Structure 1
Amino acid sequence: MRRILVIAAVAVAVVAGAAWAAGGRSYRVGVLLGSATNLHEGGVVTMNGFPAGTIESISVQDGKAMIRLALDSDRGPLHDGAKLTVEWKALLGERWIEIADGAPGNAVIPDGGMIPGTQAEPMNLDQVLAALDKPTRDHLSSLVKQLDTTLEGSEQDANATLRAAGPALAALGQVLGSIGHDGPAIRDLVTQLNAMVSTLAAHDSDVRAVIDALSRTTSATVGQRQQLATALQLLPGTLDTANTVLGNVPGTADKAVPLLRDLRPATQQLPSAAQHLSPVLRQVPPLLDKLAPTLTSAKQLLEFTPGLLDAVHQTVPGVSETAGYLGPVLNYLRPYTPELAGWVSEWTSNGGNYDANGHFVRFYLQEGATTFGNSPGILLPGTENEPYPLPGANANQPWQDAWGSGVR
């Protein structure tokens, strides 16, 4: 019979677990407490120190507080023997609920089931005072009487002060709660602070030197406050200019990247070019030494240059006038440049003969008895008369003048 009950309990646990996994919803349990002081809907519920859900609702049942909890799906279901404890977050402020699950082999608590819970009993003032010895109680009574005398006639001010201090005390409670949660971190911080203070104490002279240097720097900064003010006034315009420049940088960089890629082959040749350039650079100092006399002479020449330019300035108008006067003559003689070139060529060849006495010129008279005929209008056979030869005809030159153009 006992074996059958165990098997049935295990089957119920397996079915409940499978149904729970298939549902994928929050696992809800309830607890009945004597008071729900400082608990609120949405409050934190933890399990083994980690967040496990929230307080779903708080209601009154038989003069007690019925608290419904919504746990995360991966935190349920709970097992028989699970316990709930109400913990303080800090000395002041809200509380939270901590759940300790039962043994995994125990029966499963179904969704919506109840679990037992405990909470700290409220501490009365009489119990606190009873824990003190008689001298302490007498001294405390004297302080209370002095406080009563001090506040007499100022009850409204005291009440207003307490009402105004409410938010401050709530904030202090949150700070103390955070300190309670962050105890290990604060302990590590204090330890590191202690180590830092010890290091600073070991380097007291260095710290003093740093502080003295900082003091001198601060004094110098105060002495330059006018310059700093001027610089700060110019800073907005400088920042605007820098912003404009930086705004143009991406476009410039986009254009510069292809240029740098094209320059890569040339830059790869720079080491070898530098090696070949080294001998040339060695010759530069002697060249500069030889250049000094040249520069001295150039300096002397430049001293005469203004006078030379003045003389040229006076001469150029006359040359220009002469060129303008010779222009019509040159234009007239221009078509006959082939004859002039032929005459110079033939004259040079005529004077090229020489004998033992030196160079000589031989003239040939190509005239005969028939030249002086009695019939000047009749030409001899095989001859023709050209009273107006074209330019270049006598010298057998092409029909172009020295400028490369035809007859005008």
Structure 2
Amino acid sequence: MINISPVAFRNGAIALLAVFVLAIIVIGKSGGGSGGHDIYVTTSKATGALNGQYIRAAGTIVGKVAEVKPMDGGRSARLKLHLDDDVWPLPKGTTFTMRWGGTISIFNRYLLLDRGKDGGAEMVADGGDFPAGGFRVPVEYGDLLKVFDKQLRADTKTFLDTSGVALDAAGKPLNRALDVAPGALAEADAVLSTLDESRGDVEALVQSTGRVVDAIDRADPRIGALIQGAGTTLNAIASDVSGLQATLDRAPGTLKKATSTLKRADGTLAGAQQVTDRLAPGVRQLRRIASPLNSLLGTLVDVGPTARATLATAGAAAPDVTKMVDKLASQAPALESIGKQADLALNCIRPYSPEIASFGTLWGSALSNNDGRDNYIRAIPTVSFPAPTNAQYNNSGEALKAFPGATYAFPRPPGTQAGTPWFLPECGAGPDALDPTKDPEARKFDPISQFSAGVGETNVGENNPGETNGAGE
């Protein structure tokens, strides 16, 4: 028989009770509480979303992506987001944004939770659907490179092939045009100033032309009106018979004089005939242009107010135009220098047309998560040279000795990728660009400088063999 003292029995009961209470607390925290909140969002673009991906708010992990389920044959995705109690409920204006893990990391992504202002209405209920407009995915690099389709690549190549030649051919004419531009613009300024000073005369001319055109437009001669006028004339003659008789009495003498005059007029008429013959083609042309001229005069009437307003605007802008011309004239040397530099730069860029086109094609394909129709998985094996220290001290020549399978080219001449380099010494890409011992950025490691300057790198060169390039200088 075992005897237990009252004190030991009391202490044992208290310990057992404490263990029981602790177990209840642990069980309550692990399974008896709410355990967070789940919401769902369906979006047409969920690039980089993975199961177990963290959800962060102000740098703190506040949840994770519990499930990513493809929808509509993979053309959309439904995400289940599990959130901690600390960020619940989600007020109106809350957004989720996909972010990269770092400035040079495109894989370690997370969702950034940006809560709306507290105190407002709840944006989503527990277990409800979050608005797709509040789930944001940044533009991917592959999306930007998709614009380099076959047609755009061909157009880019054509542009690079022709722009250098065009600028080279247009260089001298452009320089001559810039030389004579100030004089021509000064004359144009004088013309505009004269028109501005004669604004009243020009306005009167336009108005008079409008009245003439309006009268011509209203004129519509008829045979009836002509006959009526002839009748009126004959009535007037009949009412003055005595005057007509006196005229007839004087007619013989008048006719004699007219006969002598006509004899003298024969030569004049012969000359007039010649003039008429010469004028006949012009008359025929004048008849043909009568109708277009009528239309033109009608248009002048319509545009008269607009022309006056244009002349007023041109007159007011004359001083600004003069200033602009003076400014262009002062910038002519700079424009000429820019043209020459652009010509040289394009001549150096044009040989890289195949590399430019392949860059858009290969990088766009490497960083894209789909082929334009459906999503697929792409593996990108990457091998990086390990750096033994925080400051890499090997130059290019030493690095190639350590890694015989590597190649060197800086700056890379066009065609190097295909094994047929096209050397451009005038662009800095000559034969020395393939010699690692002539790397223009070569540096030598100096461990002693770590204690004095803080960074173990020293420039190597003939002019500055001991100059240290470090942040501690």
| TM-score normalised by length of structure 1 | 0.29
Larger radius of gyration: 1
Structure with the larger RCO, 1 or 2 (CA within 8 Å, 6+ apart):
2
